[in-house]
Amino acid sequence: MKRFVIGMAAVVSLFATGAMAADLAPKPYVKAPPVAAAVYGWTGFYIGGNVGYSWGRASNSETISNLATGAALFTGTSSNNVNGVIGGGQIGYNWQAQNWLFGLEADIQGSGEKGSSNLVCVGCNNDGTNITSVLTQKLTWFGTVRGRVGVLVTPSVLLYGTGGLAYGGFDTGGSITGNNVGGVPVTVAFPGTSSTRVGWTAGAGIEGKISSNWTAKLEYLYMDLGSVSAGPIATTILVPVRTNAGASYSSGFRDNILRVGVNYQFGGGPVVAKY
Protein backbone atom coordinates (compact mmCIF):
# COMPACT_ATOMS: atom_id res chain seq x y z
CA MET A 1 0.00 0.00 0.00
CA LYS A 2 2.78 2.32 0.91
CA ARG A 3 4.46 1.64 -2.43
CA PHE A 4 1.21 2.37 -4.31
CA VAL A 5 0.84 5.75 -2.62
CA ILE A 6 4.43 6.65 -3.42
CA GLY A 7 3.89 5.64 -7.10
CA MET A 8 0.73 7.78 -7.42
CA ALA A 9 2.54 10.78 -5.97
CA ALA A 10 5.31 10.35 -8.49
CA VAL A 11 2.82 10.28 -11.43
CA VAL A 12 1.02 13.40 -10.19
CA SER A 13 4.35 15.18 -9.80
CA LEU A 14 5.32 14.25 -13.37
CA PHE A 15 2.09 15.68 -14.88
CA ALA A 16 2.37 18.87 -12.85
CA THR A 17 5.92 19.44 -14.02
CA GLY A 18 4.86 18.92 -17.66
CA ALA A 19 2.00 21.39 -17.35
CA MET A 20 4.28 24.03 -15.90
CA ALA A 21 6.77 23.48 -18.69
CA ALA A 22 4.00 23.86 -21.25
CA ASP A 23 2.95 27.17 -19.67
CA LEU A 24 6.51 28.50 -19.78
CA ALA A 25 7.18 27.48 -23.39
CA PRO A 26 7.09 30.36 -25.96
CA LYS A 27 3.85 30.62 -27.92
CA PRO A 28 3.75 31.33 -31.69
CA TYR A 29 2.98 35.00 -32.79
CA VAL A 30 -0.44 35.43 -34.31
CA LYS A 31 -1.03 38.65 -36.31
CA ALA A 32 -4.20 40.51 -35.42
CA PRO A 33 -6.76 40.68 -38.21
CA PRO A 34 -6.81 43.97 -40.17
CA VAL A 35 -9.10 46.67 -38.86
CA ALA A 36 -11.48 48.16 -41.41
CA ALA A 37 -11.64 51.96 -41.37
CA ALA A 38 -14.30 54.06 -43.11
CA VAL A 39 -12.78 56.54 -45.61
CA TYR A 40 -15.19 58.92 -47.33
CA GLY A 41 -14.97 58.91 -51.11
CA TRP A 42 -14.72 62.08 -53.22
CA THR A 43 -16.13 60.89 -56.56
CA GLY A 44 -19.45 62.41 -57.54
CA PHE A 45 -21.44 65.57 -58.21
CA TYR A 46 -21.53 68.41 -55.69
CA ILE A 47 -23.20 71.78 -55.23
CA GLY A 48 -22.45 74.57 -52.77
CA GLY A 49 -22.15 78.23 -51.89
CA ASN A 50 -19.37 80.69 -51.08
CA VAL A 51 -18.65 84.19 -49.81
CA GLY A 52 -15.49 86.26 -49.92
CA TYR A 53 -13.72 89.49 -50.83
CA SER A 54 -11.94 90.69 -53.97
CA TRP A 55 -9.04 93.08 -54.34
CA GLY A 56 -9.25 94.26 -57.95
CA ARG A 57 -7.02 96.67 -59.84
CA ALA A 58 -7.86 98.85 -62.84
CA SER A 59 -5.11 100.20 -65.12
CA ASN A 60 -6.34 103.20 -67.10
CA SER A 61 -5.18 105.18 -70.11
CA GLU A 62 -6.79 108.39 -71.35
CA THR A 63 -6.21 110.44 -74.49
CA ILE A 64 -7.44 113.93 -75.40
CA SER A 65 -7.20 114.48 -79.14
CA ASN A 66 -7.97 117.01 -81.86
CA LEU A 67 -11.10 115.67 -83.56
CA ALA A 68 -10.30 117.50 -86.80
CA THR A 69 -6.83 115.98 -87.25
CA GLY A 70 -6.86 113.00 -84.87
CA ALA A 71 -3.62 114.19 -83.31
CA ALA A 72 -3.19 113.40 -79.62
CA LEU A 73 -3.01 116.52 -77.49
CA PHE A 74 -2.54 114.67 -74.20
CA THR A 75 -2.13 111.08 -73.04
CA GLY A 76 -2.04 110.04 -69.39
CA THR A 77 -2.28 106.90 -67.28
CA SER A 78 -3.68 106.11 -63.85
CA SER A 79 -4.62 103.11 -61.73
CA ASN A 80 -6.99 102.45 -58.87
CA ASN A 81 -8.39 99.73 -56.64
CA VAL A 82 -11.69 98.02 -57.47
CA ASN A 83 -12.58 96.20 -54.24
CA GLY A 84 -15.70 94.67 -52.74
CA VAL A 85 -17.57 91.74 -51.23
CA ILE A 86 -18.52 88.79 -53.44
CA GLY A 87 -20.82 85.80 -52.99
CA GLY A 88 -22.39 83.05 -55.05
CA GLY A 89 -22.64 79.36 -55.76
CA GLN A 90 -20.75 76.56 -57.47
CA ILE A 91 -21.45 73.15 -58.99
CA GLY A 92 -19.02 70.46 -60.08
CA TYR A 93 -17.92 66.86 -60.38
CA ASN A 94 -14.93 65.02 -58.90
CA TRP A 95 -13.13 61.86 -60.03
CA GLN A 96 -10.96 60.21 -57.38
CA ALA A 97 -8.08 57.92 -58.42
CA GLN A 98 -6.48 56.62 -55.21
CA ASN A 99 -5.06 59.77 -53.57
CA TRP A 100 -5.42 61.94 -56.71
CA LEU A 101 -8.47 63.98 -57.60
CA PHE A 102 -9.55 65.45 -60.95
CA GLY A 103 -12.59 67.64 -61.40
CA LEU A 104 -14.58 70.30 -63.22
CA GLU A 105 -16.29 73.24 -61.51
CA ALA A 106 -18.43 76.19 -62.60
CA ASP A 107 -19.45 79.10 -60.39
CA ILE A 108 -21.43 82.34 -60.64
CA GLN A 109 -20.85 85.33 -58.35
CA GLY A 110 -22.53 88.58 -57.45
CA SER A 111 -19.99 91.37 -56.88
CA GLY A 112 -19.91 94.71 -55.09
CA GLU A 113 -16.49 95.68 -56.47
CA LYS A 114 -16.10 99.29 -57.56
CA GLY A 115 -13.54 102.09 -57.68
CA SER A 116 -12.47 105.30 -59.42
CA SER A 117 -9.40 107.36 -60.30
CA ASN A 118 -8.58 110.95 -61.25
CA LEU A 119 -6.31 112.10 -64.05
CA VAL A 120 -5.13 115.72 -64.43
CA CYS A 121 -3.94 117.34 -67.63
CA VAL A 122 -1.89 120.27 -66.27
CA GLY A 123 -2.37 123.58 -68.11
CA CYS A 124 -4.35 122.01 -70.95
CA ASN A 125 -7.14 124.59 -71.03
CA ASN A 126 -6.96 127.67 -73.22
CA ASP A 127 -6.61 129.86 -70.13
CA GLY A 128 -3.77 127.70 -68.76
CA THR A 129 -5.88 125.92 -66.15
CA ASN A 130 -6.10 122.18 -65.72
CA ILE A 131 -8.45 119.61 -67.17
CA THR A 132 -9.50 116.89 -64.71
CA SER A 133 -11.11 113.61 -65.62
CA VAL A 134 -12.66 110.90 -63.42
CA LEU A 135 -12.80 107.26 -64.50
CA THR A 136 -15.08 104.78 -62.70
CA GLN A 137 -15.20 100.98 -62.81
CA LYS A 138 -17.64 98.45 -61.38
CA LEU A 139 -17.68 94.66 -61.57
CA THR A 140 -21.33 93.68 -61.07
CA TRP A 141 -21.03 89.90 -61.51
CA PHE A 142 -18.63 87.26 -62.76
CA GLY A 143 -18.29 83.53 -63.24
CA THR A 144 -15.70 80.87 -64.01
CA VAL A 145 -15.50 77.42 -65.60
CA ARG A 146 -12.38 75.63 -64.32
CA GLY A 147 -10.58 72.33 -64.14
CA ARG A 148 -9.28 71.10 -60.78
CA VAL A 149 -6.33 68.79 -60.05
CA GLY A 150 -5.38 67.90 -56.50
CA VAL A 151 -3.82 65.42 -54.11
CA LEU A 152 -5.38 63.98 -50.97
CA VAL A 153 -2.74 64.59 -48.31
CA THR A 154 -5.01 62.61 -45.98
CA PRO A 155 -8.19 60.72 -46.89
CA SER A 156 -10.23 63.78 -45.86
CA VAL A 157 -7.99 66.76 -46.82
CA LEU A 158 -7.47 67.88 -50.43
CA LEU A 159 -4.89 70.35 -51.77
CA TYR A 160 -5.62 71.46 -55.35
CA GLY A 161 -4.78 73.79 -58.19
CA THR A 162 -7.40 75.19 -60.56
CA GLY A 163 -7.67 77.25 -63.74
CA GLY A 164 -9.80 78.01 -66.78
CA LEU A 165 -12.25 80.48 -68.30
CA ALA A 166 -13.48 83.65 -66.55
CA TYR A 167 -16.19 86.08 -67.63
CA GLY A 168 -18.02 89.00 -66.02
CA GLY A 169 -20.11 92.12 -66.33
CA PHE A 170 -17.83 95.16 -66.21
CA ASP A 171 -19.15 98.74 -66.21
CA THR A 172 -17.00 101.80 -66.90
CA GLY A 173 -17.76 105.49 -67.06
CA GLY A 174 -16.63 108.89 -65.87
CA SER A 175 -16.43 112.55 -66.79
CA ILE A 176 -14.04 115.29 -67.86
CA THR A 177 -14.11 118.82 -66.43
CA GLY A 178 -12.43 121.98 -67.76
CA ASN A 179 -13.13 125.62 -68.63
CA ASN A 180 -14.69 126.87 -71.83
CA VAL A 181 -14.59 130.43 -73.16
CA GLY A 182 -15.38 132.81 -70.33
CA GLY A 183 -13.90 130.57 -67.66
CA VAL A 184 -17.13 128.76 -66.79
CA PRO A 185 -16.40 125.16 -65.67
CA VAL A 186 -17.88 122.58 -67.99
CA THR A 187 -18.28 118.86 -67.21
CA VAL A 188 -18.86 116.35 -69.96
CA ALA A 189 -19.77 112.73 -69.18
CA PHE A 190 -17.90 109.90 -70.83
CA PRO A 191 -20.03 107.40 -72.70
CA GLY A 192 -20.65 104.66 -70.18
CA THR A 193 -19.93 101.09 -71.23
CA SER A 194 -21.52 97.93 -69.86
CA SER A 195 -20.25 94.73 -71.39
CA THR A 196 -19.53 91.10 -70.66
CA ARG A 197 -15.79 90.56 -70.65
CA VAL A 198 -14.10 87.19 -71.19
CA GLY A 199 -10.70 86.28 -69.79
CA TRP A 200 -8.93 83.66 -67.70
CA THR A 201 -8.40 82.65 -64.09
CA ALA A 202 -6.02 80.45 -62.05
CA GLY A 203 -5.57 79.68 -58.38
CA ALA A 204 -5.32 77.11 -55.61
CA GLY A 205 -7.20 75.94 -52.54
CA ILE A 206 -7.66 73.50 -49.70
CA GLU A 207 -10.82 71.47 -49.09
CA GLY A 208 -11.70 69.09 -46.28
CA LYS A 209 -14.41 66.56 -45.45
CA ILE A 210 -16.51 67.55 -42.45
CA SER A 211 -18.91 64.61 -42.88
CA SER A 212 -19.69 61.92 -45.46
CA ASN A 213 -21.48 64.43 -47.74
CA TRP A 214 -20.23 67.88 -46.66
CA THR A 215 -16.93 69.62 -47.36
CA ALA A 216 -15.55 73.08 -46.52
CA LYS A 217 -12.95 74.95 -48.59
CA LEU A 218 -10.70 78.01 -48.73
CA GLU A 219 -9.79 79.21 -52.24
CA TYR A 220 -7.72 81.93 -53.94
CA LEU A 221 -8.18 82.95 -57.59
CA TYR A 222 -6.40 85.45 -59.82
CA MET A 223 -8.66 86.72 -62.63
CA ASP A 224 -7.90 88.76 -65.76
CA LEU A 225 -10.87 90.17 -67.71
CA GLY A 226 -8.89 92.20 -70.24
CA SER A 227 -9.66 95.82 -71.18
CA VAL A 228 -12.60 97.98 -72.24
CA SER A 229 -12.43 101.18 -74.28
CA ALA A 230 -14.74 104.08 -75.08
CA GLY A 231 -14.62 107.32 -77.04
CA PRO A 232 -13.63 109.62 -78.47
CA ILE A 233 -16.44 111.85 -77.31
CA ALA A 234 -16.64 115.44 -78.56
CA THR A 235 -16.38 118.00 -75.79
CA THR A 236 -17.02 121.71 -75.40
CA ILE A 237 -13.70 121.88 -73.55
CA LEU A 238 -11.20 123.44 -75.94
CA VAL A 239 -7.60 122.19 -75.69
CA PRO A 240 -5.05 123.61 -76.08
CA VAL A 241 -6.33 125.96 -78.81
CA ARG A 242 -9.88 126.75 -79.82
CA THR A 243 -10.75 123.66 -81.81
CA ASN A 244 -13.02 120.69 -81.29
CA ALA A 245 -11.49 118.12 -78.93
CA GLY A 246 -12.34 114.55 -78.08
CA ALA A 247 -11.60 112.32 -75.08
CA SER A 248 -11.24 108.56 -75.04
CA TYR A 249 -10.12 106.02 -72.46
CA SER A 250 -9.20 102.40 -71.91
CA SER A 251 -9.49 100.48 -68.63
CA GLY A 252 -7.98 97.05 -67.95
CA PHE A 253 -9.12 94.91 -65.00
CA ARG A 254 -7.30 92.31 -62.88
CA ASP A 255 -8.70 90.73 -59.73
CA ASN A 256 -7.55 88.83 -56.64
CA ILE A 257 -10.29 86.72 -55.06
CA LEU A 258 -10.27 85.03 -51.64
CA ARG A 259 -13.36 83.07 -50.63
CA VAL A 260 -14.63 80.36 -48.30
CA GLY A 261 -17.31 77.87 -49.21
CA VAL A 262 -19.16 74.67 -48.41
CA ASN A 263 -20.18 71.86 -50.77
CA TYR A 264 -22.72 69.07 -50.53
CA GLN A 265 -21.58 65.93 -52.33
CA PHE A 266 -24.21 63.56 -53.69
CA GLY A 267 -23.45 59.90 -52.95
CA GLY A 268 -20.42 60.64 -50.80
CA GLY A 269 -20.81 57.58 -48.59
CA PRO A 270 -17.91 55.74 -46.94
CA VAL A 271 -15.50 53.53 -48.82
CA VAL A 272 -14.06 50.73 -46.66
CA ALA A 273 -10.29 50.65 -46.58
CA LYS A 274 -7.96 48.40 -44.55
CA TYR A 275 -4.94 49.71 -42.66
Residue 207 lies in a domain: yes
Q: What percent of the chain has pLDDT over 90?
A: 50
* Residue 23 phi, psi (nearest 5): -65, -35
Q: What is the pTM of this model?
A: 0.78
Mean pLDDT of 148-175: 95
Check residue 174 and give its pLDDT: 86
User: Which domain CATH number covers 59?
Assistant: 2.40.160.20
Residue 133 lies in a domain: yes
Task: Kindly give the pairing relationship between strand 100-121 and strand 157-179.
Answer: unpaired
Mean pLDDT of 194-223: 96
Check residue 16 and give its pLDDT: 44
Least confident window among 8-22, 195-209, 221-235, 249-263: 8-22
Residue 157 lies in a domain: yes
Range of the domain at 211: 36-274
Residue 31 lies in a domain: no
Confidence bin at 11 (pLDDT 50/70/90)? very low
Check residue 28 and give its pLDDT: 56
Residue with the bigger pLDDT between 244 and 141: it is: 141
Residue 266 lies in a domain: yes
Q: How many domains does the chain have?
A: 1
Q: What is the pLDDT of residues 61-80, one digit of tens each?
A: 888 877 777 777 788 898 99
Residue 12 lies in a domain: no
Confidence bin at 183 (pLDDT 50/70/90)? low
Mean pLDDT of 111-140: 86
Q: Considering the chain, what is the average pLDDT of its residues?
A: 82
